[in-house]
Structure 1
Amino acid sequence: MKTLVLSAHPDASSSMTIPFFERATSVLESVTWRSIESVYNEQLNVHREQDFLKPFNRIVFQFPMYWYSCPASLKQYIDDVFTRKFTISCKSLKNKELGLVVTTGNSSHDFQAGSLEKFTFSELLRPFEAIANKIGMIYLRPLIVDQFQYKSVKEKQRLLVEYLQYLDTASPFSLRNREVWLLKQFDLLESSLDTDTSKILRVIFHEISRRQDQLDDLKISIKEIRDQEE
């Protein structure tokens, strides 16, 4: 699977999240990082940009939330590149996946009914889901990154793994698929690890695999019970 991250940020040089996420994508050969602002700085060629999008299986819009929507550069990019001929007549993006990575300075707990912001992220991001539905893309559950500047080192480490999985794990983002992704990353890293670290991680992932097998057996048993009840 090939993933394209289209990052939109009006002031990337002052962003704390852009360097964090851009460096993270460098460890995954299947992921390409692209700044929308740099595309316009180099003068957008619409047909060339459309051809650039075609090989990717998953396209991820990454942006800070600006007044409950995306920055103007991303909106302009969608208007310019996602033309009716390209998306509807030619169906060039049909069956590709559309993901969103949204950063916000407010706590995610504020975005719910009865709280400070009143509306959920699902409600506020509905226009992107509508776009995906209109052009036949598969809309993925958005990854919300709130209050990055206040996160501890451990929280950032967990976020890093969650982010890489969002870009590279096969959908749906089930426990099984995320564990398969972790095992794959370990296999790729094992040759570069020292012996002791490799042994420790091997034990950890063996336990993950064992528990996943137990979970699969449990699911089969539950299904058999339900079938008998019916």
Structure 2
Amino acid sequence: MKTLILVSHPKVDESATQAFLKTSADSLDNVTWRVIDRLYAADRLDVIAEQTQLQNFDRIIFQFPMYWYSSPASLKRYMDDVFSRKFVIAKRGLKNKEFGLVITMGDKLVDFQAGGREKFTISELMKPFEAFANKAGMIYLAPLIIAQFGYWSVLEKQKKLVDYLQYLSAPMPLNLENREKWLLVRLKQLQVGKSAQQREMLDLIIDSIDSRQDQIDDLKMNIKMIRDQEE
């Protein structure tokens, strides 16, 4: 699977959050990182080339800081320029591709809920993107929110790193089974070049996860049998 990250950020080079995410994304194969603002700054946006490139990816991620409950202007400009009706509707150029949002913000996530200070959830505020995905025939993924990154502990950053990498490359939906499958692949990749002792330790972790997967499969089978009997 190939993933394209389209970053919209007017000051991306000054953003510690984006630097963290870029370093994280660079650890994955088949993930491409592009900054929309740089394309426009260099006057290098070729609409046909962009449309062609988009078709080469399976998962497309818009990544941006939330500006007044939406994205920065460069992303709107990109969508207006590249996502023509001919490309999106007539040619169905984005059909069946996965479409996700990685949203960074300085506000507390708890404020964005019914009864919270902001009154609306992030999902509600991002409905225009979901509507676009629906119109384009894309598979819309629940947004990944990164709130108040500067206040996080090292442990919190490590946890979000895993969440982010899975959002970019794991099979969807991000349920327990798919998360564990993704983790197994990553652990096996980590074994390359490690010492015998390190490989042995990783083998123990892999075996433990495999065993848990077998238990989950058995549980699913038992539940299915019970449901079949009830019918």
TM-score bin, normalised by smaller chain: over 0.9
Q: Deviations over 1:81-139 (max 9, x none)?
A: 01100100110111111010001111111110011111011100000000000011110
Could you list the runs of 5+ residues in structure 1 that have no partner in the other structure? none
- What CA RMSD, in Å, does the superposition of the two structures yield over aligned residues? 1.0
Is residue 184–residue 209 contact of structure 2 (8 Å, CA) maintained in 1? no
The CA distance in 2 between the partners of 1:205 and 1:115, in whole Å, is 42
Q: Which residue of 2 aligns with 1:21?
A: 21
Deviation at 1:194, TM superposition (A): 2.7
| TM-score normalised to structure 1 length | 0.97
Give matches, 1:1-230, under 5 Å. 1-43=1-43, 44-230=45-231
- SS of the residue aligned with 2:61? strand
- SS of the residue aligned with 2:28? coil
Deviation at 1:215, TM superposition (A): 1.2
Could you list the runs of 5+ residues in structure 2 that have no partner in the other structure? none
Moved more, 127-136 or 12-21: 12-21
Moved more, 68-77 or 174-183: 174-183
Q: Deviations over 1:184-203 (max 9, x none)?
A: 11111202223333222221
The CA distance in 2 between the partners of 1:135 and 1:45, in whole Å, is 21
Deviation at 1:176, TM superposition (A): 1.1
Letter in 1 for 2:48: H
The CA distance in 1 between the partners of 2:202 and 2:54, in whole Å, is 37
The CA distance in 2 between the partners of 1:161 and 1:192, in whole Å, is 22
The CA distance in 1 between the partners of 2:116 and 2:100, in whole Å, is 26
The CA distance in 2 between the partners of 1:42 and 1:50, in whole Å, is 18
The CA distance in 1 between the partners of 2:165 and 2:195, in whole Å, is 23
Letter in 2 for 1:55: N
Overall identity of the aligned pairs, in %? 56
The CA distance in 1 between the partners of 2:23 and 2:62, in whole Å, is 17
The CA distance in 1 between the partners of 2:108 and 2:196, in whole Å, is 41
- SS of the residue aligned with 2:60? strand
The CA distance in 1 between the partners of 2:195 and 2:150, in whole Å, is 33
| TM-score normalised to structure 2 length | 0.97
Letter in 1 for 2:123: S
- SS of the residue aligned with 2:75? helix
The CA distance in 2 between the partners of 1:147 and 1:193, in whole Å, is 36
Report the count of equivalent residues: 230
